[in-house]
Amino acid sequence: MGWGLPWIVQTLACGLVLLLLARRPTHWDLWQVLYAGVWTTGVLAIARIAGAEQRIFYSTDQATQVELLDRLREQGLSLGFSALQDGRYAVVIPAWVLATFGLEPLLAFKLIQAVTMTMLYRLCRDWLDARGVAPRLWHAFLYAGPLFVFISLLGLRDLVLAYAATYWFVGRSPMLKLLWLGAAITLRPHLVAALLVGWVVAAIW
């Protein structure tokens, strides 16, 4: 899908979801409110500039993931080792669910990135807060800065990997650590291997 009314409406709806996620029990999170606006504007701008070619905007990996989603639709879920390694199920399956409800596949991948970005922001913010560091808006530039914001405008897998790696080091739940590690294995297994080696070396050192 390129630039057009359906894409605009769906993007605005996704932006509204991000805005709702910015609501805390007593206030609105300023960074998340700003992020919802920047993400919505950025996704619309890319669609307006690139049109139907936005699948290969900046990275052809976006087109690859849409093709993997199409393959999942046609062939179903495969549990073979090769499929688990190459199918990118950690992002393709959630995107397939969203697409089943009518969301454009590429936009589904972008929304997954955006929600993961929000989760990464909250994870790091809560980690600082738990250590007595009062979170400030500028802190977000250290763990959810411009580069990550730009990446979240694309239908890639990078932020899911970033969240999985971050949760492994600062997360509290051992079960969730393993689940996110498993998700990362379906995206880039060699990076998970490097992460574990580095973690073991750091523990021994």
Q: What is the pLDDT of residues 117-172, one digit of tens each?
A: 999 999 998 898 888 887 777 777 777 888 899 999 998 889 999 999 999 888 99
Dist. CA 201–CA 138, nearest whole Å: 32
Write the pLDDT tens digit of every residue in 52-81: 889 888 888 899 999 999 999 888 877 776
Contacts 24+ apart (CB under 8 A), 3-9: 3/47, 3/48, 3/51, 6/104, 7/47, 7/104, 7/107, 8/44
Dist. CA 38–CA 54, nearest whole Å: 18
Write the pLDDT tens digit of every residue in 85-104: 778 889 999 999 999 999 99
The pLDDT value given to residue 81: 66
Structure-model confidence comparison of residues 195 and 22, the more confident one: 22
Dist. CA 182–CA 90, nearest whole Å: 9
For the entire predicted model, the pTM comes to: 0.90
Structure-model confidence comparison of residues 4 and 101, the more confident one: 101
Identify which of 106, 84, 82 has the alpha carbon closest to the alpha carbon of residue 95: 106
Write the pLDDT tens digit of every residue in 27-49: 899 999 999 999 999 999 999 99
